[in-house]
């Protein structure tokens, strides 16, 4: 079985994003970029499935600028076998990514596509669900645990009330949640080896996908600055203040 793992290059999760002064978006100039944290979890899970002898090949794919090759090299250093960059400098919306992934999945025929539950730059939480719908495949989103048995996969999903268990027949689409695993760090020898692994560069047009945006961003603003709190002397004062505010 092959596993396809889409990985997105995003602003590093430790960086505090700054909004451009003209309000057209987030300023990415000279900002540290990394692999989307949920995608690291997807790569880790794919490697664990391969290590357990249940998959033969892991293909990492990214849709983005030439620099997304670095993100793919990270996936290769962690343990992916080969990579595909679908290169574009345009901002690509989840629907266009899902269409490109569908074309790649049709060519590669993976048993599993493991995506992150969301990219931390756009917080869309859409690509995996759209891919499952476009392909007519079962989906197990927000995975907390995966078990593959024969030609099915059992997924424990993180839902509001706790965990829900679903059984999907393969091929299937999975999206990973935070507690699925703890991704490994790539070792130096593996980083060196990753430089020699196959990395194909394609264009969205190679898959016949029109990536023209369907959404228009009107304005991006900083969140309002939080007001400072106040200290109260005792519980009576706290209750009085809450009553004043109409909360108690």
Binding stretches for ligand AMP (CB under 6 A): 6-8, 36, 38-39, 62-64, 92, 94, 97, 115-116, 118-119, 122, 124-128
Distance, CA of 5 to CA of 43 (rounded, Å): 6
CB closer to ligand AMP out of 132 and 168: 132
Minimal distance in Å, beta carbon 187 to ligand AMP? 24
**Taking CB positions, which residue lies at the least distance from ligand AMP?**
116
Output 119 or 132, the one with its CB closest to ligand AMP.
Answer: 119
Least separation in angstroms between residue 69's CB and ligand AMP is: 12
CA–CA distances in Å: residue 8 to residues 5, 68, 163: 10, 8, 27
DSSP assignment of 75-87: HHHHT-SEEEEEE
Smallest gap from residue 175 Cβ to ligand AMP (A) = 7
Q: Which lies closer to ligand AMP via its Cβ, residue 121 or residue 145?
A: 121
Tokens of 220: 């991006």
Nearer to ligand AMP among residue 36 and residue 144 (C-beta): 36
* Minimum CB distance to ligand AMP smaller for 201 or for 248: 201
Question: 102 to each of 41, 63, 110, 213, how far by Cα in Å?
Answer: 21, 13, 11, 18
Spell out where the chain has E strands.
2-6, 9-11, 33-35, 57-64, 82-87, 112-116, 139-149, 152-159, 162-169, 172-176, 199-202
What is the H or E stretch that residue 71 is in?
helix 68-78
Give min distance, CB of 112 to ligand AMP, in A. Answer: 13
Beta carbons within 10 angstroms of residue 68's beta carbon: 23
Which of 91, 164 has the CB closer to ligand AMP? 91
Is 71 within 8 Å of 9 (Cβ atoms)? Answer: yes
CB of 90 to ligand AMP, least distance (A): 10
Q: Minimum distance from CB of 10 to ligand AMP (Å)?
A: 9
Q: Is 199 buried (19+), middle (13-18) or exposed (0-12) by CB count in 10 A?
A: middle
Q: How far is the CB of 122 from ligand AMP (least distance, A)?
A: 5
Residue 31 or 232: the one with the smaller Cβ distance to ligand AMP is 31
Question: What is the arrangement of strands in the sheet containing 112-116, beginning at the earlier edge strand?
Answer: 162-169, 152-159, 139-149, 172-176, 112-116, 2-6, 57-64, 82-87, 199-202
């Amino acid at each position: 079985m092959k596993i396809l793992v889409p990985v997105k290059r995003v602003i590093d999760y430790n960086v505090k994003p700054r909004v451009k002064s003209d309000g057209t978006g987030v300023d990415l100039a000279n900002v540290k970029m990394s692999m989307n944290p949920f995608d690291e979890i997807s790569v880790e899970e794919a490697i664990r499935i391969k290590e357990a002898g249940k998959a033969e090949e892991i293909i990492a794919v990214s849709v983005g600028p030439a620099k997304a090759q670095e993100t793919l090299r990270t996936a290769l250093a962690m343990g992916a076998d080969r990579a595909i960059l679908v290169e574009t400098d345009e901002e690509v919306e989840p629907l266009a990514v899902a269409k490109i992934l569908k074309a790649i999945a049709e060519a590669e025929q993976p048993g599993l596509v493991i995506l992150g539950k969301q990219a931390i730059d756009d917080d869309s939480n859409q690509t995996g669900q759209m891919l499952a719908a476009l392909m007519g495949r079962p989906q197990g989103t927000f995975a907390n645990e995966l078990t593959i048995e024969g030609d099915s996969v059992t997924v424990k999903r993180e839902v509001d009330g706790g965990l829900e268990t679903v059984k999907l027949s393969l091929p299937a689409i999975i999206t990973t949640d935070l507690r699925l695993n703890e991704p490994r760090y790539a070792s130096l020898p593996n980083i060196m080896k990753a430089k020699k692994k196959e990395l194909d560069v394609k264009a969205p047009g190679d898959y016949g996908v029109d990536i023209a945006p369907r959404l228009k961003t009107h304005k991006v603003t900083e969140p309002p600055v939080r007001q400072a709190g106040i200290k109260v002397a005792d519980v009576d004062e706290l209750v009085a203040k809450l009553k004043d505010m109409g909360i108690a």
